[in-house]
Amino acid sequence: MAMTNQASLQLPPKPIPRDLLNLLEAFNDVFQTPVGLPPSRLQDHRIPLRDESMIVNMRTYYYPIIQKNEMERLIQKMSHNRIIRDSNSAFASPIVMVKEKDGSWHLCMDYRQLNKLTIRDNFPTLVIEELLDELDLRACYHQIRMHKEDIYKTKFWTHEGHYEFLVMPFGLTNVLSTFQALMNSIFKPLLRKSVLVFFDDILLYSKS
């Protein structure tokens, strides 16, 4: 028996129902990539230190030219989206360039020394490595502002300048609990009635 070409077994995509298209068009703004700062909320992220007189100032790492080029592109993009700004803070943390599975690069702030001085929440969370594999938390974090009094602590070095975050960056202690607290606050009237929230995974089980 001759083997059937796998491509011939693929069915053509079904057309999207008109009612669904109308719904998507009516709420088109929901699916757009956020640009600019989110509103200030009670859950703006704080960085409480055990000793507020302590300063974390680490030297930048060495980066090969390909990483420097990608770093410049990503910094320019974040500056354009107004989630970072130039900084002259006494704090400073370096960047680690992480290569994704698709070959792209990601800026990872090395806040380990800052985290050692940060007072930890008692909010229970999973191991961070497990969450990175399952959730797209980086984009979600940028929808939460940094508390204005703690912005200067997020400063990071690059070969072309110093910047600080206006939104909650990935890599800080307590960011998972801040994000979950915001989700709980937003969905509070519906929790355990028709909605369950686990970080950025939202389960709806209402019949309507």
CB 59 within 8 A of CB 94: yes
90-to-58, 61, 150, 164 alpha-carbon distances in Å: 10, 18, 12, 11
pTM of the model: 0.76
Backbone angles phi, psi at 136, to 5 degrees: -100, 65
CA dihedral 128, 133, 138, 140 (to 10 degrees): -100
Residue-wise pLDDT tens for the chain (208 aa)? 555 555 556 777 888 888 888 988 998 887 777 677 888 999 999 999 999 999 999 998 999 999 999 999 999 999 998 999 999 999 999 999 988 888 888 888 999 999 999 999 876 554 444 444 444 555 677 889 999 999 999 999 998 899 999 999 988 999 888 988 888 898 999 988 898 887 767 888 887 7
Domain at 39-204: CATH architecture: Roll (3.10)
